[in-house]
Amino acid sequence: MSVKTGTATGYLDLLNQLRTFLTTDATLTAAGQNWTELATNASSYTVGQDTVDFETYLKAPGLSGSEAIYLNIRAYHYVAGDYYNFELRGAQGYNASASFVNQPGLSPAAYVPLWNQPIPYWFIANGQRVIVVAKISTNYESLYMGKFLPYGTPGQYPYPVAIGGMTDTMDIRFSDTSGRHNAFFDPVALQVCGVDNSWNTFRNWDGNTNYQTYQNVWPWGYGQNDSNSRLTWMATSLDGGYPIFPARLEESSPSPNCRGELDGVGFVPGNQQSSENTINDGTNSWTVFQNAHRTYADAYCAIKMV
């Protein structure tokens, strides 16, 4: 695993720095886990009122170095709406003659609202997934792309991939404070590939602050009709440290199941908590980030850094 922090000049530079990091980082390369950029498209075109600036088609090699995990990003903007965003897609192959929205086995979209001003960022990647946190004003916008840790063998679960951003809405600004703007760990739309290679939308919220209880990320989405179930009552441990719980992909429909957990992502209690705090669990170091603008007791996650 490798971590890079820095500041991009804007949303396009953020994508350029991410591409360079994933494909050339020395730590990833030494481990045989650097990614391959299969293609790019820098020819702008319009989608509705939006202008697409850049597309990248990436392939992650997995932790073994011999897998093929297809992850695509396009950057777009709309000046009148003052948004400069990313669109994220998972795929199950790459077709050079197909457009961005017609790739093989394509997932539904997830979006990340950004801006065209300096962006402090955190990149956390290994051979099978990348996590990005971008600080936009006082918001923390984040994404997760790649494999999660399945509760099953490769034969049982051949392509355990999750695509998560901050929203399922293309035309949204980072300043939006509605229920449609939520981090991938407490999602309005986390796209998860199933054992049959179909894509399912895991959501804790429906975009209108209404709870969803069928396919959730635990513990943020566990028993949401009871706020105590979201561990809002939990404080620090007796030694002053924080417990960290795995971010599990749970579902009650079509049948009760737990698919696995997000790689390097955990729930951390939010009492006496703030973004960019560092937690050491005795083995690993974690950094705390909030869900967009939110600072509630259940609005934080911890990302494993080492």
User: So what's the pLDDT on residue 110?
Assistant: 98
User: So what's the pLDDT on residue 240?
Assistant: 78
Cα–Cα distance, 136 to 180 (Å, whole number): 17
User: So what's the pLDDT on residue 272?
Assistant: 86
Give average pLDDT by consecutive 10-residue segment, the chain, 306 residues: 99 99 99 98 98 99 96 98 98 99 99 99 99 99 99 97 98 96 96 96 81 85 58 76 94 88 96 94 95 95 96
Residue of 26, 20, 25 lying closest to 58 (CA atoms): 20
Q: What is the DSSP string of the chain?
A: -EEEEEEESSHHHHHHHHHHHHHH-HHHHHTT---EEEEEE---EEETTEEEEEEEEEEE-TTTS---EEEEEEEEEEGGGTEEEEEEEEESS--TTS-GGG-TTPPPPEEEEE-SS-EEEEEEE-SSEEEEEEEETTEEEEEEEEE-EESS-TTT-S--EEEE-SBS-SS--TT--STT---TTS-S-EEEE-TTS-EEEE-SB-SSS-B--SEEEETTTTTTTSGGGGTTT----TTS----EEEEEEE-SSS-EEEEEEEEEEE---TT--TT-EEE-SS-EEEEEESBT--STT-EEEEE--
Please state the domain extents for the chain: 2-215
Strand, coil or helix: 238 = coil
User: So what's the pLDDT on residue 223?
Assistant: 53
Strand, coil or helix: 17 = helix
User: So what's the pLDDT on residue 226?
Assistant: 54
Burial of 55 (C-beta count, 10 Å sphere; 0-12/13-18/19+) = buried
